[in-house]
């Protein structure tokens, strides 16, 4: 069921009051600074995790305040790229409003893994993001993925934000704890994973069954749809089942990052205990 293209198709409207598809977040309020946001990571946890990640190349610049410099590990204090600056000087390198906590790092991302590398062996849970473009949502999903012991995250080459900037800040270091793969075509990636023994579950509010029914504890790819559109038709056709989150409270609409956290909890409940670890 492979396809050379994956286009957004008009979807059948959900029943009134039962829309589980992800909702657009409000703009995060950041504007570009003098330098490109995607080149920078800021905030204590995000910077600390990036510097500790052996999969990343050497840092290009590390900007710290004098107070923060006193608390740096000895090996970091000796980095040739280290510069001690005032808070305001660090802020000038970042988007307006960035809460940098006295630390900013310019560094290239770790190299993306292949689908085969990410999916071998077939065990645990992978998360696939179908055109989720909001960096705060993606950062929050990485954070939840780290909390629930997810094996890795699969994103598209296009229609996905850079794993830095406000995304990395929201993820509080999880970007450097969870492996990821960038792919051109999600449907083909699902076909490849199916051949390796993975079972794909798409999250959709209009699904007939709830997640606790469709999750079986085996190797699972949890597919999450984009803001407003949900999982696209051709991607959904490559899923083995579609599931919804049970909402007994009556207010049945969740932001995609909140829905992801609940879905990952449900997946963790049915997994063997020895698989829930990083």
Domain boundaries, the chain: 37-106, 115-273
Q: What is the pLDDT of residue 249?
A: 76
Q: What is the pLDDT of residue 274?
A: 53
Q: Flag residues of the chain having pLDDT under 70.
A: 1-38, 250-252, 273-278
pTM of the model: 0.83
Sheet holding 125-129, edge to edge: 180-183, 152-156, 125-129, 220-224, 199-203, 241-244, 209-210
Distance CA 139, CA 60 (A): 23
Q: What is the pLDDT of residue 212?
A: 92
Distance CA 122, CA 219 (A): 6
pLDDT digits (tens, 9 = 90+) for 251-277: 667 899 999 999 999 999 987 765 554
Please name the CATH architecture into which domain 115-273 falls.
3-Layer(aba) Sandwich (3.40)
Sheet holding 40-42, edge to edge: 40-42, 103-106, 61-64, 82-84
pLDDT digits (tens, 9 = 90+) for 57-71: 999 999 999 999 998
Question: Are the CB atoms for 198 and 240 separated by under 8 Å?
Answer: no
Distance CA 275, CA 278 (A): 8
């Amino acid at each position: 069921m492979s396809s050379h293209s994956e286009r957004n198709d008009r979807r059948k409207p959900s029943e009134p009051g039962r829309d589980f598809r992800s909702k657009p977040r409000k703009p995060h309020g950041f504007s570009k600074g003098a330098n490109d946001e995607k080149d920078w990571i800021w905030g204590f946890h995000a910077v600390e995790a990036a510097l500790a990640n052996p999969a990343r190349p050497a840092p290009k610049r590390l900007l710290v305040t004098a107070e923060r410099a006193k608390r740096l590990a000895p090996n970091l204090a000796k980095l040739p790229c280290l510069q001690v600056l005032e808070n305001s000087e660090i802020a000038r390198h970042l988007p307006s409003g960035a809460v940098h906590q006295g630390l900013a790092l310019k560094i290239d991302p770790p190299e993306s893994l292949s689908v085969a590398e990410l999916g071998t062996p077939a065990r645990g849970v992978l998360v696939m993001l179908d055109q989720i473009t909001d960096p705060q949502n993606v950062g929050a999903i990485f954070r939840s993925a780290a909390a629930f012991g997810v094996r890795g995250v699969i994103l598209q080459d296009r229609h996905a934000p850079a794993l830095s900037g406000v995304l990395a800040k929201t993820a509080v270091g999880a970007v450097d704890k969870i492996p990821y793969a960038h792919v051109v075509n999600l449907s083909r990636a699902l076909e490849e994973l199916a051949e390796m023994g993975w079972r794909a579950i798409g999250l959709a509010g209009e699904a007939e069954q709830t997640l606790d029914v469709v999750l079986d504890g085996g190797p699972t790819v949890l597919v999450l749809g984009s803001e407003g559109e949900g999982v696209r038709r051709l991607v959904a056709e490559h899923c083995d089942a579609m599931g919804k989150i049970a909402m007994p409270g009556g207010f049945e609409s969740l932001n995609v990052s909140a829905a992801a956290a609940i879905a990952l909890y449900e997946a963790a409940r049915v997994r063997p205990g020895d698989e829930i670890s990083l």
